[in-house]
Structures are given as structure tokens and as C-alpha cells.
Amino acid sequence: MTIDKLLGYAFLITMPLAFLEKTTLLREYYRGYNGETLTPVFDDLYWYFFVGFLIIRFINLLIESRIIKKTRDK
């Protein structure tokens, strides 16, 4: 399994968690000692995985296009 597939699966897993984090279900669970909610962890992970997936996918496309161009030149 390649890294872009792993990041894609991680993105798909954290997407519903980021949605649930916006609701009160996970906010009540992650409430701090003084009543303040903690940093929205899943929303940050969602964006990190999404941006990482896009960057690695773009790099893979560049590498594949370079390989295809080299095979055409032969």
C-alpha cells in the first residue's frame, strides 16, 4: 500500500470525526477541567491528512508523467 492510499484512508476516517467534533457529542467528551473545550483535534487532523494527500498525490503525478515521458522518448 502506497503512502497516498494510506493518507487517503486516514482522510476518510477523520472526516466523520471532524464532523462529530463540531457537534456536542465529542465536545462534551473532550471538555477540559475548567469547562472549556479542548483544541479541536480531529478537525486539525482532517486538514493535515487532506493536504498531505494532495501534496503526495501531486508529487506522484509528476513522477509518473516524467516516467511516461521518458518511455515515449525511447
> Could you state, in order of their start, the residue ranges of all structural domains in the chain?
3-73
Per-residue model confidence (pLDDT) at position 15:
75
**Cα–Cα distance measured from residue 55 to residue 72, given in angstroms and rounded to the nearest whole number:** 26
Per-residue pLDDT of the chain (74 residues; tens, 9 = 90+): 677 777 778 777 777 777 766 666 656 666 655 555 555 566 667 777 778 888 888 888 888 887 767 776 65
CA torsion angle 13 18 24 30 (round to 10): 80
- Asked whether the beta carbons of 22 and 47 are under 8 A apart, the reply is no
**Cα–Cα distance measured from residue 56 to residue 71, given in angstroms and rounded to the nearest whole number:** 23
Per-residue model confidence (pLDDT) at position 24:
61
Per-residue model confidence (pLDDT) at position 63:
81
Per-residue model confidence (pLDDT) at position 4:
72
Query: How many C-beta atoms lie closer than 10 Å to residue 42's C-beta?
Result: 19
